[in-house]
Structure 1
């Protein structure tokens, strides 16, 4: 399989454009040597560009700081883990090369796993083709990876990667030269600093000097690992002498400000351009949500014991772990464990082996194993593994039984490597327990109803349990075992294989459980990790967002397509000592926000919301002050902050959405109860509309696109555009002020010219039409039209083509597609559990951001009136005699595929009866807060037309559902009466 790279993702494109826009209209001089970059001058224009980029990206005022004095030029891009930093900095490399001729880049990473991931991505042939052809850059990266040199007798050879990188000619327009290195090679040893090599390059015998001569741009990954006072940073600045350092990271280093009592710490940002923080990433569904869960100990006390080491066959060291901390004890054979905890009274040590301890109750515990103070409980870690395997299979079953399957992975962080790999005697208790529990769960899953394909996958797993899991640890890098080497290659270097359900030889790839000891951390991630289990403690000072970061990326299906139109959750399992993990994660995410951002409204936000509400900004501010929500400085009244965001939901609340990080051990807040009796009356309808369908285009659509592009081009895409003023004059009448319209003026404008490749890329990103198809069509059009002018390649032409293509898509694809029911039935839905029973409650935000006080109708599905628009509120509070039951459909729960490459979910469902009560009717309603059909945007109209086709097909498949669109001027009662008359 190939991982399908997507172009034009807004959150990624913004970062790329932010970097490129810094150098607009700056002074650039050609290099003195063919192997060097052009020189970009950091003048006043450049820093004005930085200020404009920061403003355009909406950075909070406290983050809009210019670091003029820090040399060389630094640019910072903050992007949360899982949002595609590697893709973005690769894209930025191509963009800087194309726009400004920058040809020499040095990518610096902090560790070998990150280096392996970067090398795999930058050197991947598919990635190269993506940027060269799909994105239209017409250039390729020549990647050179710097590696430690083996010591040899005799001659000393200049590092080959440095030689090749330096010798690369910047005059070769279709080549970009990238040198990849890790931090240790800059600081350890003298490979780059020595000058006694037998041969040099261009007169340079010291590699650092040769690299500096190229005037490189440095890309720094994971900047929190590179403090500015560290040796690695010093080497980068003073030895590589880059023109610019662009830092990409989810976390940036801290820096101390002030002295004594006034000393504080802040993030060491240097010209921060773009801030895609964790809060925005979660809220925009750019990454998975997190469902934290811990296993409650059987004992009434939150305590556990860990055997940390065996000193000899006569004594062992135990760690007592509780919410209050840790304490160490050394015990010998015959000692009672009551000295550790009174709960263990009556339990003593009867024997101590090389790596185990035997207790008087017959239990044997191994070094590194943890157990609760309940002497009759299983190993605490064993319970966590059992829970993790259960959560994995719950997720895997749902992911497998989809039209396009998702390979589901689980990652275990462990404390004792020998417990998995085996000690000198071959004992590996964790390995054995895991395989035992995995086999038990597979046997259980095989007894359940499942598809033929999934059953075959389970049978293959059971037939070779050992093939289902693998491990990677730091010491594996020096291990010569062939089997271990194969595991490392698949985990660390062969992401595509790990994501594949079927191997190249057509056998089933059942490897999906991975074990590590924090070796797989920054730099390693896999989009299909759905469960992370922390069998070891990482310490309270670790970043919580970094800990879950290995599993935040959105998943890909079996064909490599990233799935971004659904909500996914990462199961994160910890022990009871981290019971507050979810709260700490939320606190960490919100703490990243500037202090004022959460409680202060900017002028820009005030103007934006006032415009949405069609009210003067000053009047709007007076309204908020009168209601006691803000003061004169626009600071929000903390006591009323929840009411404020509820009543004025248009404001972008800079807080993590409650549904994005949940604690499965606690009852979720802001939930709405589902009335079970009401749901039972809706159950049949709910089941029917949750059937999964696939949209198929007619076979002639692709040919139509290529043919109709010519028609679109001939229909006024190129040429000048009219712009007319709307002229109004204000007159003082006899009794009032009057506004009288007058004829305005009309101008012909051509728009700002664009480079041809930029023109093609802009259309490609907006329409997904391949660049080659666009190019061929424009060439054909230019040949057929006399007087075609290069000036036609401009912003206006691009915008007109995109607009016309969208209109064409909405107009021409209607009726040229059909829906076909799949065999996939979701195991669980927003309203039902995996076993089909109704959920007790749903998150309020799923059915409405606003709450109306009062009791809803007895016929309503929920016990609270939650709504998004006034029209929805009217529907919920309207009593209609014919209605048996009705309810708001939770957001994005139905997912009807549309011709716009996204999905659609309507708003309401009703079950009604005729006056004679003989027949029940099923109705699904879409509410639109507009006055008439002409007010619907093309995209909304397209989604509604797709929904009509979907419900028509559902009716043809044997379950009749009436679908209606409700506009502002339609009452729900009149819609229902109209449907009843037609029956």
Structure 2
């Protein structure tokens, strides 16, 4: 197939004409150098008049018009949203300026190699050349020179040939336009940089420095993706100071920002400079110039907005995990074999790490989780990513069937962004299983087998053939591209890279040149395919990794916004296409953020409302009429109360009450930056040493023996009756972007998808998994299930891992409610080893990481009685405790997180918050106090599981006192001061 470019598209013509209309017949003089562009007459007054005329024709808002200005070069800006054809407009502008004004020396500067490759491919492709020469009637061609990084060689130093050929191209040649394409990294003002060196053996026209040769051509310079080229950067300085183009034309969907104003008037605005055309996202969506967007995510089964990610496995001994909560709050944990995942979250209570492999962990619920994998943090612990893959495949097939039913078919593509490369591509140095690829292929085959029986041979023969070909070669249906692939010599990988990056026509073809069906349509990458890569037929993007970034949301979906082309290469623009954008629940607010981003880019103007005018006037003791007159006379506003942009800084300085927004520095995040270290004060530790060693001793939890097995069996039967065997349904939430009557973007809820999840287990495995997580004898479980089945039918599909999780959860609740008071603690003979505060020999450590005693931090020096030299805390109540001065306290300290391991009947360990050594004022009585802080007003506000843990802690410290070390344990609510607790203990 050949891609067919269309000329005459109104939104693209407007952009091209906006630039050419800035110039007129008398704008240029002929250069006396054959290699130089005509010379632009930089008549600032005339050019600004023309610019305003163009802006008025394109209805550019006054807010942006007031940013106009001309320096010692002419800057022109074109804003076009992602997917609307910026590269086409750039090339069309080059042809138009050459046709009208004989400009034929252009430099295109792009930020990345990927964009460079895409621009090169577009300009050099045969269909592009044919389009501009014949279809558009320009009758000329671009001679493209691509500047590449030079390699240093011994001997002669050759002047860069691309620069030489570009410079020597004659401006008198009506059939040639000379374009130099480069990436920003090569535009460097370092003395040893390729363009700056002057030690070449020969240079064209007597130039020894390439930069001087480029400057002499008086080029027009095009900047792509201007948000990557702020004017403070060295690259931009090099362009303006060394290349000195006559005109800089910036094309972008996003522009850099600048800060203007002072004090409360300080604000951030887009750095537009003579903005001629503003095709923003709202206009692009409203005019159907790009696909619409339908965002979709799954709600977690337990409605808990968090998940666990396996970061790394260390030598089969430990595993590092991240606990990710909604809003991308992340905490890190390191667990070992035998540890419970409840240390991460109570929702994972009862799940133990049973084994650690080279790149995976095995859990007591029978699941194996691999490095890089994420799973939902709920009682089901099911693979959330698997459900996202299934949803993406379903949405893809919905779209693919519609696109196949057309008279001229559209090849439908799907793009997956993943986190762990080796979950998709085999690493020869590792035993790691490519679990993501394997899961995808399994789900794809299942979907094909599901769809095929629903098709009609009479009506769907072509699609049947396509799916049959897909079924015969599942691995051929997908391909991946990752940055490390550039150094991979594997032939198959090389073919995939070529097809994804360079052979767009092949990827868009349903049939190959030899007549075989081309089933490759699922692409995997790790954000490598960003700006510079595009394919118009991407209809589904699935973000299996949560970036958590604050990057432009419109840029994130940008790879899928272009309107599609059919099998003949024709662009389809008369339909309402939708991009399926599938994310995880931690970014559930993606659509809201996208809508806000789109609407925030709309020009707001600077208008003073009547209400604001009256409020400020009242504060200043003036009438609103007098204040209005004063502002008008000083030319701070016009008659319509619009702030005059040129005078805005002076206006806000003189009348700061009109400024809105939060001043710089009002909101700070003390947790940003490197992880702090906190020193342990050795003298204070020595005062706490005996208390610390006592509470660090290992104790076991013993239950009273239940003599009557029938009692326990009947209790188990009762638990099975509590909806243990239920269908598990996961539902997606889908939102579509639409336009309101006033032209703003808005969200509409759309129909999502529901899946019934079936994870059937063999009966014996079902019993074993419950046994592993509860220690209930398998025989007793079997007897209870037999008794349950006499009056309740059990669906075989419901003998699954979800029913295991349901039962374990209900059993833990039963223990909490029925075993209170029926347990005791016993001290072990295990020797005390290294702890969070001490080495194995008992001496104190010099420092610990701040995070394990508190995530929040304030400056200052704690009391000399405090164990640490810094303030670190987790809650306001903890902060108050650290700051509070109590005379009777000898020494006190925050207990490091999870350093004390008190077993509880919930199955989880428990670690309290504070330890105190206190004495009466007469010095006769010394006591040890352990405190659990709960930042709630009453005990009734505590969750049941927290109340049970505290009850267990009370029993533990009673036993510790019986064993010869007296410790008072107290719980502290937010309305209780520490001094009050201490005084109660000392009575």
Q: Same fold (TM over 0.5)?
A: yes
Residue 10 of structure 1 is matched in structure 2 by: 10
Mapping for residues 731-742 of structure 1, pairs under 5 Å? none
In the alignment, is the contact (CA less than 8 A) between 2:310 and 2:371 conserved in 1? Answer: yes
2-side partners of 1:284 and 1:305: how far apart? 42
Residue 59 of structure 1 is matched in structure 2 by: 60
1-side partners of 2:449 and 2:154: how far apart? 59
Which ranges in structure 1 are unaligned for 5 or more consecutive residues?
A: 601-631, 636-649, 668-983
Once the two structures are TM-superposed, the CA of residue 40 in structure 1 deviates from its matched residue by 0.7
The question of 1:291 aligning with 2:380 is answered no
Once the two structures are TM-superposed, the CA of residue 72 in structure 1 deviates from its matched residue by 2.0
Please provide the CA RMSD for this pair: 2.2
Once the two structures are TM-superposed, the CA of residue 257 in structure 1 deviates from its matched residue by 0.7
Residue range with higher mean Cα deviation, 64-73 or 425-434: 64-73
In the alignment, is the contact (CA less than 8 A) between 1:304 and 1:370 conserved in 2? Answer: yes
Once the two structures are TM-superposed, the CA of residue 321 in structure 1 deviates from its matched residue by 1.0
3-state DSSP of counterpart to 1:5? coil
Once the two structures are TM-superposed, the CA of residue 666 in structure 1 deviates from its matched residue by 11
Residue 837 of structure 1 is matched in structure 2 by: none
Residue 361 of structure 2 is matched in structure 1 by: 357
Mapping for residues 899-910 of structure 1, pairs under 5 Å? none
2-side partners of 1:32 and 1:516: how far apart? 51
3-state DSSP of counterpart to 2:180? strand
2-side partners of 1:597 and 1:366: how far apart? 54
In the alignment, is the contact (CA less than 8 A) between 2:301 and 2:380 conserved in 1? Answer: no
Residue 215 of structure 1 is matched in structure 2 by: 218
1-side partners of 2:354 and 2:154: how far apart? 57
Residue 562 of structure 2 is matched in structure 1 by: 553
Residue 250 of structure 1 is matched in structure 2 by: 253
Mapping for residues 454-473 of structure 1, pairs under 5 Å? 454-473=463-482
Distance 1:66 1:255, change over 3 A: closer
Mapping for residues 94-243 of structure 1, pairs under 5 Å? 94-187=95-188, 190-243=193-246
In the alignment, is the contact (CA less than 8 A) between 2:740 and 2:746 conserved in 1? Answer: no
Distance 1:222 1:192, change over 3 A: same
Larger Rg, first or second structure (1 or 2): 2
2-side partners of 1:230 and 1:394: how far apart? 46
Once the two structures are TM-superposed, the CA of residue 664 in structure 1 deviates from its matched residue by 5.3
Residue 656 of structure 1 is matched in structure 2 by: 745
Distance 1:195 1:663, change over 3 A: farther
2-side partners of 1:516 and 1:152: how far apart? 36
The question of 1:537 aligning with 2:546 is answered yes
Once the two structures are TM-superposed, the CA of residue 79 in structure 1 deviates from its matched residue by 0.3
Residue 429 of structure 1 is matched in structure 2 by: 435
Distance 1:71 1:488, change over 3 A: farther
Distance 1:484 1:306, change over 3 A: same
Residue 920 of structure 1 is matched in structure 2 by: none
In the alignment, is the contact (CA less than 8 A) between 1:598 and 1:653 conserved in 2? Answer: no
2-side partners of 1:24 and 1:8: how far apart? 22
Mapping for residues 680-691 of structure 1, pairs under 5 Å? none
| CA offsets 1:256-298 (integer angstroms, 9 cap, x no match) | 1123332210000010000000000000111100000001111
3-state DSSP of counterpart to 2:445? helix
Once the two structures are TM-superposed, the CA of residue 132 in structure 1 deviates from its matched residue by 1.0
Mapping for residues 792-871 of structure 1, pairs under 5 Å? none
In the alignment, is the contact (CA less than 8 A) between 1:413 and 1:515 conserved in 2? Answer: yes
Q: TM-score, normalised by structure 2?
A: 0.61
2-side partners of 1:598 and 1:5: how far apart? 43
Residue 599 of structure 2 is matched in structure 1 by: 590
Query: Which of 370, 374, 383 does residue 370 from structure 1 map onto?
Result: 374
Residue 405 of structure 2 is matched in structure 1 by: 401
Distance 1:585 1:598, change over 3 A: farther
Distance 1:230 1:584, change over 3 A: same
Mapping for residues 254-653 of structure 1, pairs under 5 Å? 254-324=257-327, 325-423=329-427, 424-425=429-430, 427-450=433-456, 451-596=460-605, 653=742
In the alignment, is the contact (CA less than 8 A) between 2:79 and 2:254 conserved in 1? Answer: yes
Once the two structures are TM-superposed, the CA of residue 198 in structure 1 deviates from its matched residue by 2.0
Once the two structures are TM-superposed, the CA of residue 651 in structure 1 deviates from its matched residue by 12
In the alignment, is the contact (CA less than 8 A) between 2:75 and 2:249 conserved in 1? Answer: yes
2-side partners of 1:367 and 1:657: how far apart? 39
Once the two structures are TM-superposed, the CA of residue 534 in structure 1 deviates from its matched residue by 0.5
In the alignment, is the contact (CA less than 8 A) between 2:48 and 2:68 conserved in 1? Answer: no
Distance 1:499 1:591, change over 3 A: same
2-side partners of 1:158 and 1:169: how far apart? 19
In the alignment, is the contact (CA less than 8 A) between 2:412 and 2:538 conserved in 1? Answer: yes
In the alignment of these two chains, the number of paired residues is 620
Residue 41 of structure 1 is matched in structure 2 by: 41
Once the two structures are TM-superposed, the CA of residue 65 in structure 1 deviates from its matched residue by 2.8
Distance 1:597 1:531, change over 3 A: farther
In the alignment, is the contact (CA less than 8 A) between 1:65 and 1:272 conserved in 2? Answer: no
Mapping for residues 742-781 of structure 1, pairs under 5 Å? none
2-side partners of 1:226 and 1:185: how far apart? 13
| CA offsets 1:182-226 (integer angstroms, 9 cap, x no match) | 111223861111111222111112111111111111111110111
2-side partners of 1:367 and 1:378: how far apart? 16
Residue 737 of structure 1 is matched in structure 2 by: none
3-state DSSP of counterpart to 2:493? helix
| CA offsets 1:30-65 (integer angstroms, 9 cap, x no match) | 112111101111212221110100001011111113
Once the two structures are TM-superposed, the CA of residue 378 in structure 1 deviates from its matched residue by 2.9
Which ranges in structure 2 are unaligned for 5 or more consecutive residues?
A: 610-638, 643-738, 755-987
1-side partners of 2:538 and 2:268: how far apart? 34
Once the two structures are TM-superposed, the CA of residue 634 in structure 1 deviates from its matched residue by 11
3-state DSSP of counterpart to 1:194? coil
Once the two structures are TM-superposed, the CA of residue 487 in structure 1 deviates from its matched residue by 1.1
Distance 1:297 1:658, change over 3 A: closer
In the alignment, is the contact (CA less than 8 A) between 1:282 and 1:657 conserved in 2? Answer: no
3-state DSSP of counterpart to 2:201? coil
Distance 1:334 1:652, change over 3 A: closer
3-state DSSP of counterpart to 1:537? coil
Residue 19 of structure 1 is matched in structure 2 by: 19
In the alignment, is the contact (CA less than 8 A) between 1:395 and 1:530 conserved in 2? Answer: yes
Once the two structures are TM-superposed, the CA of residue 422 in structure 1 deviates from its matched residue by 2.0
1-side partners of 2:521 and 2:152: how far apart? 39
2-side partners of 1:70 and 1:337: how far apart? 63
In the alignment, is the contact (CA less than 8 A) between 1:288 and 1:568 conserved in 2? Answer: yes
| CA offsets 1:433-487 (integer angstroms, 9 cap, x no match) | 1111111111111121141110110011111111111111111222222221111
In the alignment, is the contact (CA less than 8 A) between 1:76 and 1:271 conserved in 2? Answer: yes
In the alignment, is the contact (CA less than 8 A) between 1:16 and 1:92 conserved in 2? Answer: yes
Residue 614 of structure 2 is matched in structure 1 by: none
In the alignment, is the contact (CA less than 8 A) between 2:353 and 2:361 conserved in 1? Answer: yes
In the alignment, is the contact (CA less than 8 A) between 1:293 and 1:663 conserved in 2? Answer: no
3-state DSSP of counterpart to 2:338? coil
1-side partners of 2:751 and 2:527: how far apart? 24
Once the two structures are TM-superposed, the CA of residue 377 in structure 1 deviates from its matched residue by 4.2
2-side partners of 1:26 and 1:651: how far apart? 46
| CA offsets 1:656-685 (integer angstroms, 9 cap, x no match) | 2656xx665699xxxxxxxxxxxxxxxxxx
In the alignment, is the contact (CA less than 8 A) between 1:319 and 1:329 conserved in 2? Answer: yes
Distance 1:493 1:314, change over 3 A: same
Distance 1:55 1:307, change over 3 A: same
Once the two structures are TM-superposed, the CA of residue 75 in structure 1 deviates from its matched residue by 0.3
1-side partners of 2:164 and 2:288: how far apart? 44
